[in-house]
Structure 1
């Protein structure tokens, strides 16, 4: 049995901007990935609204710092064969970090944590890592989200190229979710059901190859 951890934010949690609420379980991209990979693989969805790569959000009622919580998540779900990281959007909130390059620095920290983790019994090698760039933000008439992510449309358009370069430098896999999915103008940030399913379908052959299936 192979085990895949999907580590992300609201795009992994399944935030539905039409509600607002949560997409049906079957529509969330980790669920679609699970169906595509089959019963020989366990896909674990670990999504949290507002999660950053490595930055504090002092407005939250939970710990959204992805770097601080990651060791606990790794220890909880190990042993792991593949970690898919879909993070970076929330880093581009001006109140959190702002520039796209901040997300790159945070992503690099997450890679370091995974590769130097003290794995539990039964894991004798570091899992593969797949960096996924989130779809770029789009313009929205939602004043709250537009203000929350001020400057994010421009910054998020840079993230795919920056993440691809980081993947090359660190020997990680890379996938641009923006190549198959677009954010909804309802809030400029999240995905409708069709687009989150599209990410799960597109990741299946990449994950399969990295798992050696």
Structure 2
């Protein structure tokens, strides 16, 4: 079984045109569903809109902190063969003031929690794949919230690649396969979800050997 630990782009949120929109693509469209269809196995998706890596959100709430909830999710879903982490987009919000390296380090902290757990088969830790999120743009109703975010988001992938190597995790750069919807500069189109799902399935197959 694979566990996808992510944010709104794993949840399947389409581009937001008005603040407060809570729409979701239909089942089968989000990239984890596409990946699951190609792999033919069970995929559990824990994608929470607004989720950060390791930070309480002073505006949206402390429950957005991925580090806080991760141990409980590992216990509730074990045994898990592999955990795919795709986070970092929400860390690019201007209010956090983070650099790409800081964001990658937060993702690495999540990976360390997984690798120290007994949530895998036979009480071993699950394997981990780190997915650098698709680079963002300042656009639409979210532009001010993510002011300066494009540069931060583009710095995540190289730093996260180094984190994956340090920790012995798999790595996938989502930005090589998909781009954001220009409507809001943050979320993926249905076509981007399909492309990312195919790339993730191939990466998992390669990781499994």
TM over 0.5: yes
Residue matched to 1:182: 179
Q: Distance in 2 between matches of 1:113 and 1:62?
A: 19
In structure 1, stretches of 5+ residues that fail to align are: none
Residue 206 of structure 1 and its aligned partner are, at CA, apart by 1.2
Residue matched to 2:142: 145
Pairwise CA RMSD = 1.6
In structure 2, stretches of 5+ residues that fail to align are: none
Residue 18 of structure 1 and its aligned partner are, at CA, apart by 5.8
- CA deviation map 1:106-125 (0-9, x unaligned): 111101111112448x6321
SS of the residue corresponding to residue 158 of structure 2 reads helix
Q: Distance in 2 between matches of 1:79 and 1:97?
A: 36
SS of the residue corresponding to residue 79 of structure 1 reads coil
Report if aligned partners of 1:181, 1:195 keep a CA contact under 8 Å in 2: yes
Q: TM-score normalized by structure 2?
A: 0.92
Residue 23 of structure 1 and its aligned partner are, at CA, apart by 0.8
Is the deviation greater in 162-171 or in 56-65? 56-65
Residue 58 of structure 1 and its aligned partner are, at CA, apart by 2.5
Matched, 1:164 2:161: yes
Which of 9, 28, 37 is residue 7 of structure 2 equivalent to? 9
Q: Distance in 2 between matches of 1:148 and 1:18?
A: 13
Residue matched to 1:129: 128
Q: Distance in 1 between matches of 2:180 and 2:6?
A: 16
Residue matched to 1:49: 49
- CA deviation map 1:78-113 (0-9, x unaligned): 101100000001111122343222211211110111
- CA deviation map 1:25-50 (0-9, x unaligned): 11011110110001xx2111110000
Matched, 1:60 2:57: no
State how many pairs are aligned.
Answer: 205
Report if aligned partners of 1:55, 1:97 keep a CA contact under 8 Å in 2: no
Report if aligned partners of 2:82, 2:127 keep a CA contact under 8 Å in 1: yes
Q: Distance in 1 between matches of 2:28 and 2:119?
A: 31
Q: Distance in 2 between matches of 1:61 and 1:139?
A: 23
Residue matched to 2:106: 106
Q: Distance in 2 between matches of 1:90 and 1:76?
A: 25
Report if aligned partners of 1:53, 1:91 keep a CA contact under 8 Å in 2: yes
Residue matched to 2:89: 89
Which of 174, 193, 198 is residue 201 of structure 1 equivalent to? 198
